[in-house]
Every structure is written in structure tokens, then in C-alpha cells.
Structure 1
Amino acid sequence: MTNLSKDGAVTSLYTIPLTLNDGTRTDFGRFKGDVVMVVNVASQCGLTPQYAGLETLFEKFRDRGFQILGVPCNQFAGQEPGTDSEIAEFCERNFGVSFPLTAKANVRGKDQHPLYGELTKFKTSVLPGLVKWNFEKFLISRAGEVVARFAPTVEPDSAEVLQAIEQALAELNEPKSPHVIP
């Protein structure tokens, strides 16, 4: 996804810095070439059981170039109060989560993480720019463009999510035919 920043410079999702749950500093470029689902997560939410569905998706599609990035966030009713290490331990113990998690971050407001600043530019008829609640899902193509956005109540194993992932995985798997002039 290429956008113009406030100063007119071209920005890309891949240049956005990330701090992983274990303190590792990286950037979204670590996912370049993969299809990625970014989900803001919380451990004490009614939707927390979606962690199991997310892990199932990750296991099902990761060999085909699919990644999930969980972004713990405490902005919605204080439902992610733990430290980064407590969150990681909770996710592994209760749901077997093996996909990467970032350090806790804000997904809206004046301290919004830059990744969400870019992601929330993608709007659908039912989902305006702002993230409304925990477990909202953004699907990013191999080319780094947001191609789908799903409401928090849409389960990870729903037909619409599975279809969108399959489509995104298929799109750049096929080699582009060179333009041949007869």
C-alpha cells in the first residue's frame, strides 16, 4: 500500500516500524510477499475465543505464505490490561497462539500506531475509518495493499474470511505473463 504522507512523501506499509511482543524491533516489511491479517486483540473480551480461530487460520494457510499479526490493545473497555509478557503467556497457554504479536499499541486516537493510521484508510460500507472494537481484521495482499476489512464479530473461520484469504493467496501466486509484441 503506497500512500502520501502529510509532507507529500510516498509511504508504504512495509516501512512502518513494529515492536514485537518480546521487544524485538522490526518493521512491517518482514511480511513482504505474504498475505497478512492484522487483528487488534484483547485477552478479556467476549470475542477473545477468536484467538483459537485465528491460530487455526494461521496453521491452515501459513505454508502458502499467510501470516497473522496480533496487535494487543487496551483501548476498548480496558480489556487488555496485561503486560506484553503476560499477554504472550495467556495467548500461548489458552489458545496455542504461535503467530506473532506486537507490543501493546493504540489502534485509534492521538497515539494511534502508524500501522493503524494506514490500515484505517481502508473503509467499507459498514466499517468507517476508526476501529470500533477488539478483533477487527484487516487483510493485506502480497503487494502490501489492504484488500478486505472484517468487523469484530466476523469469525476467523467464516466463509467470507476464508474466501478473501484464498483469493489473496491466489492473486500473486501466478507468474505475470510478459507482454509479448507479435
Structure 2
Amino acid sequence: MKFYLPVLTLALTSLMACKKVEVPQGKEEMVRGKWKLELDNDKGILKEYTFYPTWDTSKKPIDTLYTSNSSSETIQDTIRRVNGFPECKLDDFLEFGEGIDGVLNTGEKKCPSGETSEVPIKWGFKDNYTRMYIYEAGEMFLGNDDLVGDVVELSESRIKLRYQVIRPVFFNGVYMQDTAFYTIALKR
């Protein structure tokens, strides 16, 4: 009996002394949940484009961020502000779920043209968490259903992405590609 008492005391002491080790939260777990477009005050969806056409595509490859050079000028204008969004869209939010599944929830106020309550989306990260994709959420991103953007900021309360849209345009009898960059911020 004398032998069991010290062993029992040692076992109880070691159990009580153990502390729970906090495991850092992964980026996927951190962003799961509800997110709205940041539209407070003068914030919205920022559009950047080149004022003069740049013919030398080697200076700004498609996979990298645009940096202005001496032959072109970057113009920035906030193209959607709170007063620019239809009221029925102001309460829309994204909900990132388990795996790559999520929904675009169209909120309480429905647009007159008829909206479903939820639109299934796909989301996730690429390239070692430097890029994020959100597919099928075009209603929130100016019609861009397949958004793949560079992660500019990522925290528990804010996600900021920068993505590009390339559209064909006909200018002075020549078909060209019009490239615009958009920056969006999502908040909890």
C-alpha cells in the first residue's frame, strides 16, 4: 500500500501540472465565417488602370503586381461606394465554410429582379497563401465570377485582395486587351 500512495500522488500531480498547449490557428480556420465588403465612408472596390497603353508586356507580366513606370500613369478611382451599391446588395455577405465550400448570402433585402437566398461558392488559398480564390461570387465582385487575387492583407478581422481583369477591347481598328486591377477588402 505504501508503494501505491507515492505513485498515485505523482500521477495526480503530473496531471494537474500539465498545461494545454495552444496550437496556432491555420489561415483557413482563421478566415472561416461571415465576411462583408468593406464599404464604410469612402471605401469600396478600388479600380486601377493604365492611362496610356503600354505595348511592352515584358515590363508587367500577367502573374505579377503592376508597378507604374515612366511611360504610363496609374489612375485610381473608387468605383463603388456605399451610395453606388444598390440597397439590396449592402447586406450581402460571404460565408467561408469547411474545405473549399462556402456561400454568398444575399441578405434580408432582395433585389427586385429576384435573388436566391444563397449562392454556393468555392474558396481557398494558392501559392503558399499568397493568393486567394473565390469562385461563383460575381454578384459581389462586379460580375467577376472567378476571382483569384493576391493577398494584400490577412487577419482575423480583415481580408484585402488585389486581382486583375483582362477584357478584349476594339480600339482604332485594333483588338487589344484592357487590363484593370481591383482591390477589395472584406471585414467581419
TM-score, normalization by structure 2:
0.24
The structure in which a higher percent of residues are strand is 2
Q: What TM-score does the superposition give when structure 1 sets the normalisation length?
A: 0.25
Largest Rg, 1 or 2? 2
Which of the pair has the greater relative contact order for Cα pairs under 8 Å at 6+ separation? 1
